[in-house]
Amino acid sequence: MMRRGLSLTTQIAMTFLGLLLITFLIGRVMPIDPVLAVVGDQASEATYRAVYQDMGLDQPLYKQFISYLADIFSGEFGTSRVTSRPVLEDIGRVFPATLELATLATIIGVGFGIPVGVVAATHAGRWPDYLLRVFGLFGFSIPIFWLGLMGLALFYGQLGWVSGPGRLDIYYQNLVPQVSGVLLIDSLIAGNLEVFWNALNHLILPVSVLAYHSMAYISRMTRSFMLEQLGHEYITTARVKGLSETRVVWRHALGNIKIPMITVIALSYATLLEGTVLTETVFSWPGLGLYITNALLSADMNAVLGGTIVVGVVFVGVNLLSDSLYRFVDPRAK
């Protein structure tokens, strides 16, 4: 167990070190001058050189990387040039919005995607299978920004069934104290149901768009895994023994795809958590994806690199969590 723990720690450390190296090199090769982003293009040569040296850009590349590592491990991600606040503080402020969006979309995607995939597999080659596959294909193929725009135009602009962009109407903003940063939770803690329902109304459309995309992916993978299991001999044996088709499909076959499905769900969730850039941009959702996008457009490299590191940490963390869940759902993984 000590060897496994040491091996796991080494893998995490090497992964994180590689992530930091990649983000560092991205910051150096991007065609954005970080000095000009600070001083502006009207600054004198002397001012430019002073800031250039102050930022350590005159040092050899390996020294810059060591300094970069020291700052990261001390929790110093730098200051955003746009907000003039520490990047880590900005990320802590915007990440709960992405967490709220991604979590609800994943729950709905899993809740509908797995049953759809199972039904498609059990009716393979028949009309329910074709219908569900076409439905999933549209969700997986249609550009998510187009789907969001069409949803806004129809359900918000024409029908008025849902609220528009943003997390809250202006009237309800700053009415509840931020405890978790997740508006649904904070509004319930504050006992303000008006804010809760307004926040939920704003969530319906972006969550539906992301959930449809997630459901399409999960249902396709579920169908593929189920078709493989339904072709095994133990399924034939279970049917010969007289077990009901429901028990054979939903307990035996579905039970044996738990491990790959955990991986699929974890990757889907991590992808949404990284900040669904296009969705957050279309719906003006103040999450991590929109924050990184605005930072990139403003040449705010501290914010871009800080957000990129957080995305990498999210992927590593979700993968570690999925590895841990293997041991609970399948004793053989121990």
Any idea where the domains of the chain sit in the sequence?
11-73, 89-333
Average pLDDT on 59-70 reads: 79
Tell me the C-alpha distance between 13 and 1, whole Å.
18
- Report the pLDDT value the prediction gives residue 249, as an integer from 0 to 100: 86
Convert the pLDDT of each residue in 272-320 to its tens digit.
876 577 788 888 888 888 888 888 777 777 788 888 888 888 888 888 8
In contact, 229 and 235? CB cutoff 8 Å = yes
Q: Which CATH superfamily is domain 89-333 in?
A: MetI-like (1.10.3720.10)
**How far apart (Å, rounded) are the C-alpha atoms in residues 168 and 195?**
8
Q: State mean pLDDT over 177-198.
A: 88
In whole angstroms, what is the distance from residue 235 CA to residue 229 CA? Answer: 8
Taking a C-beta distance cutoff of 8 angstroms, is the pair 187, 174 a contact? no
Furthest-apart CA atoms within the chain: distance in Å: 86
- Looking at residues 196-223, what average pLDDT do you find? 91
First to last CA, the chain: 11
Distance CA 225, CA 227 (A): 6
